[in-house]
Structure 1
Amino acid sequence: MFEGLQALDDDRLMTPIDDNAHQRFQRVLAMDPGNAIALDGLNRIVIRYVELSAEASPSGLFANAEALLENARNINDKHPTLLEAWIELESERNSNDLFLTLYSGEFARRTEGAQLLLADIAVKAKENDAFVLITAPNDETARWMFLEMREVLGGFRLRGNIELAGQTSIRLRVPED
């Protein structure tokens, strides 16, 4: 039981194959079908998959978000948070927003190519009156990206936010017509 809780805390939800929370809780339930701790553990795995999906979808990582929700569905397809999570994913997918996944190395090195791409994205943001969501591995890179975009636009007030994550991406949140 303790190993299952540890795996859950480490986000080893269903992988690796022989050392994950799901497998450990299932073993306990095979011996004691009503074990409250194991049942709660499975519930927490579903909730964590829903949370991870909600983190992936705003960056345009829809395939990842969907795979995470499928994992949650495989554990408990009747979980109350799943329907809302699927609706939210579809809403994100069907938005008018522009999603740009970028090569992190170019931005970490602040290459000329990265600067040109940021200039192009800044112009698109202005043209679409879009809110800019920059996702980058660290605060320094994200702030540099935002400042580069703002500089290109002169006096235009670029609206945006920064999130930290492993990949580098930009989302232009386009207002609904």
Structure 2
Amino acid sequence: MNKKLFSLLFSALFLTACQQNLAPVKDQEPLLEGDHAPTQQVEEPKTIEAAADGKLEAKEKNKEKTISAFEKITLGLIERGEQALAARRLLTPEEDNANLYFQAALGRDPGNFEATQGIANIVELYGEWAWQAAQGRNYRQASRYLESARSVNSQDPLINEIDLRIQDLQQKRLDEARHAAQQQKKKTLAANDDQEQSKQQENVYFLPKELFSLSDDEVLELLQPIIDKVNEQRAPIAISWAKDKEARLLYQIINSRTPEFRLRAMIFHRTDYKIELQQD
């Protein structure tokens, strides 16, 4: 075999061997559009979207909870007002009282519930104090409390309600005092059938023996008819009273209201509880 033939045979054998050793690799072939690889697909977690929604929701809530500087000042005023109310600093001191703070809060935020309620609480407290004072026959103090309540909110209906209650109470007590005086007068007249002496009773004024348990205003109202008569007639008076101190106080009250002349009086330590105008 010549060299040329050997060379050709060797080349043919070599190429055949190479083709047998080469196996087709299908996995390495490029995928055409629309084909799907057999490998396992990894899904994205659904919790990512949920977490994003949660963050957005939390962010919105934080926005709602965020208080502006304007609101902080209003809330601060209300808090100070409540502290002053608890300490009963209602209208004083001038620069640190409940009414000042609540009114300032309403000026910044008209219709604010807490501030409006604070104002109502001040009025209610003054109303309670006024009623307590009236029950103790201190009507002047009761009137001052109601005036303070009006300075806070004159439109609050509670003020007029308590004012009427106090007036009714005072009138009831005066009626009871007058009734007691009338009963005393009837007893005195029944014990004396003398027509002439009965006629003289026109200048006699009976008073309840509990007169000085009444308020100053009530005492003065019961004495006013006597004062008017004394001023009209300028006559001296006779005071019949059990306690000398109270009898002298009666004289001082009547005399202080007869400025045009000096009142003359006699005091008798008796249990008649009356004041009689004397004829000169």
Query: 1:28 and 2:105 equivalent?
Result: yes
Query: 1:80 and 2:163 equivalent?
Result: no
Q: CA RMSD in A?
A: 2.1
Report the alpha carbon displacement of residue 18 of structure 1 after superposing the two structures with TM.
1.1
- The answer as to whether partners of 2:139 and 2:215 remain within 8 angstroms in 1 is no
Answer with 58-67 or 91-100: which moved more. Answer: 91-100
What is the CA–CA distance in structure 2 between the aligned matches of 1:74 and 1:20, rounded to whole Å?
A: 13
What is the CA–CA distance in structure 2 between the aligned matches of 1:84 and 1:32, rounded to whole Å?
A: 29
Report the alpha carbon displacement of residue 34 of structure 1 after superposing the two structures with TM.
2.1
Paired residues, what number?
103
Query: How much identity, in percent, do the aligned residues show?
Result: 32
Report the alpha carbon displacement of residue 77 of structure 1 after superposing the two structures with TM.
2.0
Per-residue Cα deviation, 1:87-119 (whole angstroms, up to 9, x for no partner): 111123322363369xxxxxxxxxxxxxxxxxx
- The answer as to whether partners of 1:59 and 1:99 remain within 8 angstroms in 2 is no
Query: 1:62 and 2:139 equivalent?
Result: yes
Counterpart in the other structure of 1:13: 90
- Kindly report structure 1 stretches of 4+ aligned residues shifted beyond 4 Å: none
Give unpaired runs (5+ residues) of structure 1.
102-119, 121-177
Report the alpha carbon displacement of residue 11 of structure 1 after superposing the two structures with TM.
1.4
Larger helix proportion of the pair = 2
Per-residue Cα deviation, 1:67-104 (whole angstroms, up to 9, x for no partner): 11111122222212122211111123322363369xxx
Counterpart in the other structure of 1:99: 214
Cα 1:100–1:80, aligned 2, differ >3 Å: closer, same or farther? closer
- The answer as to whether partners of 1:26 and 1:38 remain within 8 angstroms in 2 is yes
What is the CA–CA distance in structure 2 between the aligned matches of 1:100 and 1:39, rounded to whole Å?
A: 36
Larger strand proportion of the pair = 1
Look up the equivalent residue of 2:135 and give its one-letter code.
P
Counterpart in the other structure of 2:167: 90
- The answer as to whether partners of 2:102 and 2:119 remain within 8 angstroms in 1 is yes
In the TM superposition, 1:20-169 aligns within 5 A as 20-94=97-171, 95-96=173-174, 98-99=213-214
Give unpaired runs (5+ residues) of structure 2.
1-77, 178-212, 217-242, 244-280
Look up the equivalent residue of 2:141 and give its one-letter code.
N
Look up the equivalent residue of 2:145 and give its one-letter code.
L
What is the CA–CA distance in structure 1 between the aligned matches of 2:132 and 2:170, rounded to whole Å?
A: 14
Report the alpha carbon displacement of residue 21 of structure 1 after superposing the two structures with TM.
0.3
Look up the equivalent residue of 1:27 and give its one-letter code.
A
Look up the equivalent residue of 2:96 and give its one-letter code.
D
What is the CA–CA distance in structure 1 between the aligned matches of 2:164 and 2:122, rounded to whole Å?
A: 20
- The answer as to whether partners of 1:56 and 1:64 remain within 8 angstroms in 2 is yes
What is the CA–CA distance in structure 1 between the aligned matches of 2:169 and 2:140, rounded to whole Å?
A: 12
Look up the equivalent residue of 1:45 and give its one-letter code.
I
- The answer as to whether partners of 1:46 and 1:76 remain within 8 angstroms in 2 is yes
Per-residue Cα deviation, 1:53-75 (whole angstroms, up to 9, x for no partner): 01111111111100111111222
Report the alpha carbon displacement of residue 31 of structure 1 after superposing the two structures with TM.
1.4
Relative contact order (alpha carbons < 8 A, sep ≥ 6): 1 or 2 greater? 1
